[in-house]
Structure 1
Amino acid sequence: MWTRHHKPRFYGRLVVPAITACFMSYFVYHSIHGDYGLIAGERFEAHKELNERKLEKLVSERQAMEERVRMLSDGSLMKDALDEQARYALNLLRPDEIVIFDRNLQ
């Protein structure tokens, strides 16, 4: 009868923990640096805040434009607003006038 006696190997006990550590380090790395990781989430939040500020600016510009259109087309037609738009578009004025345009209104 053949019998084998093996010495207990120290490396045999480290195989499973080493493989586990490799898998865990892979997943931890990608949970931080991956496409959907923590750093990508921070970049997304910063981009979202920038776009929200742009949206607020565009909404306020749109409201200002809608107000100007409402003043021109509400039926009572404010003559000074119509006159201002015509002078600005045609670049005309009377000889005795000085016109100062505010770029924020256009």
Structure 2
Amino acid sequence: MVSRTRLKSLLTGLALYTMAALIVGYFGVNAYTGKYGLNARQELDQEIIALTSELARLKRERMQGEQRVSLLRSDRVDPDMLDERARFQLDYANPRDLVRTVTPR
């Protein structure tokens, strides 16, 4: 009788320690590989770097577009820019212009 209670208490303690180790292991694995874990943090950092460079590129592109639009404002129209845009949109060329056609390969 004494050995059965001792075996039961030993198995109960072992089961509790095993369950505690499994729970700690579960949270440890999720801390490393989970949605907000260490690996996810590295991926988010890489995505932040990529998006920051894309933002810088888009800002430069916008500045260039704003500069071109400012040349077409009604209060100060650049004649060369107006001529270029009109020819491009109407698909016209001046008879004195040299036109090169490029065919895709």
Using structure 1 for the length normalisation, give the TM-score: 0.77
For residues 40-89 of structure 1, give each alpha carbon's deviation from its aligned partner in whole angstroms, at most 9, with x where no partner exists.
11122222222222211111111100000111106121101101111111
Query: In structure 2, how many angstroms separate the alpha carbons of the residues matched to 1:64 and 1:27?
Result: 51
Deviation at 1:99, TM superposition (A): 5.3
Query: In structure 1, how many angstroms separate the alpha carbons of the residues matched to 2:99 and 2:63?
Result: 25
Aligned counterpart, 1:53: 53
Unaligned runs of 5+ in 2: 101-105
After superposition, the CA RMSD in angstroms is 2.1
Unaligned runs of 5+ in 1: 101-106
- Structure 1 segments, 4+ long, off by >6 Å, are none
For residues 18-33 of structure 1, what are the structure 2 equivalents within 5 Å? Answer: 18-33=18-33
Query: In structure 2, how many angstroms separate the alpha carbons of the residues matched to 1:79 and 1:68?
Result: 12
Using structure 2 for the length normalisation, give the TM-score: 0.77
Aligned counterpart, 1:5: 2
Which structure is higher in helix share? 2
- The percent of aligned pairs where both chains have the same amino acid is 27
The letter for the 1-side match of 2:23 is F
Query: In structure 2, how many angstroms separate the alpha carbons of the residues matched to 1:45 and 1:20?
Result: 33
